[in-house]
Structure 1
Amino acid sequence: MFPRILRHPKWMVLLPLLLAGSMLVAILTLGVPLSLEFSSGTLIRYEGIEERPDVARIESSLRQLVGGEIKVEVTRDPLTGRFGLDILTPLLGENLENQVCTLLSGLGLENPSILPYSPALGRAQRKQAVTAILVAALVIGLCLLFVYRKKVVLFTVPCVLLNLLAALGGMALTGTPLSLASLAGLLLLLGYGVDTNILLANFALKRFEGEPEERIASAMKTGFMITLTTFATMLAVNLFVTNPSLDQLSTVLLFGLGADLLDTWFLNAGVYLHFTKKRRMYYVSL
């Protein structure tokens, strides 16, 4: 199968670019939602509750009314034994705030304290995170250039960034918020994309036995096996685990791993194939 794929280098390059374009459109039109960790919100606090509140019912009711991410945390005073309740919602206007209080009053919750909520990571920290990812990609490219001594390895950097673009596009399509969990997924993708591209570079540039197509096809077989097993694991986590953080992490990895199959084993493999063929023709002419 893989040698047949390598016979169509134009399609190998076109498919990843089409995917990247569609994901960019999704990001620009839908936007990537921000979790409460990255955006301002409203904190609704109750104290002195005699019976333990029904967290699942409160979350479900508020999600139907407000939409977006809702966090409900129950606390307990060790001295009095009474419960407290902290509810985090997206930023509420005055009208929606009154509706929320009426809804919670119907659930037996009275006399709330309503406070503005500041994000754990503000705009400055988000910019620093983006800068850190870009700097990391640049450093990775320089390290690869130092090891392989071939400029073609620098193409690893845009391939890795295209993986991140696909993950962000998937978040926009599925409504997965940018949170600490999904940010961790993006960082994992950064490292994973580098690993698969190093595998490709080793087969294409460091080995000389056989034809370039044979070496790259062998690398594709290994790379597809690694990526598909990881993809299957993340799919199982996404389908059967209900923890929101793991759901966000697995969603990011699913879209990123799917894109990595195209970005590494089609786009970058096509570039390496062209380079190795050109290098072979040069040495034959000598």
Structure 2
Amino acid sequence: MKMITDYKKLLLISFILIFFSVGVLGYNYSMTGEVLDKSIDFKGGTVASVILAEDTVDVSKIEDIANEKIGSVVVRTSKDNEGTSIILESENVIQDKDIVEILDSAGVAYNSDDINIQSVGAALGAEFMKQAIVAVLFAFGLMAIIIFLTFKTFIPSIAIISSATVDILFAMALMVIFGVSLNLGTLAALLLLIGYSVDTDILLTTRLIKRKGEGTLDERVMSSMKTGVTMTTSALVAFTTLYLISTSTMLDQIALVIIFGLLADYVTTWFQNVGLLRWYLRDEEKKEEVAEKKKPRYIRRQKKTKNSKTNKNKKQTKKGKKK
């Protein structure tokens, strides 16, 4: 298990993930002026949906017609129990007559009674965005407070918080690459990632920091890994299944964002945090050794005698249990 003992290589892999995520988000910001592409929920505009009388439509043809008539429009389809729907999103105003003209020009069969239009004002969208930022910061703040109160040490606590941060950054980077916009659903998914991220990190940190007597450092890492990887993989399988069988665009996006974060969690927990905690524990052991050498010789002898008696008693107890 050479990679487990070489914490510098473990941290290098995590740094590559961080640079990739920041690079993608930075590039998107330089090109669009936004870190993430925001949906109508956060920038204002109109969403129009129509239940169609047919299962397949030419989305690109409808989008071209809509762009000529309304302006910048994003067109997509969605399937549910009611059938196939066409959804048009635009920062501009969309009216019923616009939808009728667009679908008639595209030769799409539909029922005019099934047209549904929802509008969000730009000011209201901006207010939603502010509240979303506050919600994320508040969630991170509470998480940080609880973790610091639990472990009462700086490096392990920072390791857990940084892991959650990197998971979310990576998920956001893949949202940019796969064209998933920030909406109310994906915001909820990003908040859920905080919980999914810290559970394995808390498991690892507890085993390594608070249970030092339960085997060697490598044994405790491997024990934590068996449990933690099983937890993450179970969640990954569940959300992958949801993504594959869901007919709702919103559920697809939520599942996809959580899948992105869980994939990153493998790296941040079992590479980044293992590396940081190994470095921290090795440093603590060296400090303890230096402090031990500074103690008077007779105190060290007393401690050795006490430890030898304790080990002898443990061996006798184990022999008694075997009998």
TM-score, with structure 1 as normaliser: 0.78
Is the contact between residue 45 and residue 86 of structure 1 (CA under 8 Å) also seen in structure 2? yes
Which residue identity does 2:174 align to in structure 1?
Answer: G
CA distance in 2, matches of 1:14, 1:6: 13
Is the contact between residue 132 and residue 187 of structure 2 (CA under 8 Å) also seen in structure 1? no
The match for 2:303 is none
The match for 2:119 is 117
The match for 2:70 is none
The match for 1:173 is 177
The match for 1:217 is 222
The equivalences for 1:1-286 within 5 A come to 3-30=1-28, 31-42=35-46, 53-54=52-53, 60=59, 62-63=62-63, 68-70=74-76, 88-92=88-92, 102-106=101-105, 107=108, 117-118=119-120, 122-155=125-158, 156-209=160-213, 210-285=215-290, 286=292
Q: Work out the number of aligned pairs and report it.
A: 266
The 3-state SS of whatever aligns with 2:46 is strand
CA distance in 2, matches of 1:257, 1:110: 42
- Cα RMSD for the two superposed structures: 3.6
| 1:93 CA drift (Å) | 8.8
Which residue identity does 1:274 align to in structure 2?
Answer: W
The 3-state SS of whatever aligns with 2:193 is helix
Q: Structure 1 206/217 Cα, relative in aligned 2: closer, same or farther at 3 Å?
A: same
| 1:256 CA drift (Å) | 0.2
CA distance in 2, matches of 1:152, 1:245: 38
Q: Deviations over 1:217-257 (max 9, x none)?
A: 22122211211222122222223323211110111011100
Q: Structure 1 22/43 Cα, relative in aligned 2: closer, same or farther at 3 Å?
A: closer
CA distance in 1, matches of 2:248, 2:278: 43
CA distance in 1, matches of 2:200, 2:8: 21
Q: Which has the higher helix share?
A: 2
The 3-state SS of whatever aligns with 2:41 is coil
Is the contact between residue 181 and residue 248 of structure 1 (CA under 8 Å) also seen in structure 2? yes
Identity in percent: 25
Structure 2, gaps ≥5 residues long: 29-34, 68-72, 79-84, 293-323
Q: Structure 1 104/258 Cα, relative in aligned 2: closer, same or farther at 3 Å?
A: same
The 3-state SS of whatever aligns with 1:270 is helix
CA distance in 2, matches of 1:119, 1:152: 45
CA distance in 1, matches of 2:210, 2:109: 70
Is the contact between residue 236 and residue 259 of structure 2 (CA under 8 Å) also seen in structure 1? yes
Larger radius of gyration between Structure 1 and Structure 2 = 2
CA distance in 2, matches of 1:37, 1:153: 37
CA distance in 2, matches of 1:146, 1:20: 27
The 3-state SS of whatever aligns with 2:5 is coil
Q: Deviations over 1:97-132 (max 9, x none)?
A: 999664323347899999893259622221222232
Q: Deviations over 1:108-159 (max 9, x none)?
A: 7899999893259622221222232223222222222222221123212121
The 3-state SS of whatever aligns with 2:89 is strand
Q: Which runs of 4+ in 1 moved over 6 A?
A: 97-100, 108-116
TM-score, with structure 2 as normaliser: 0.70
Which residue identity does 2:7 align to in structure 1?
Answer: P
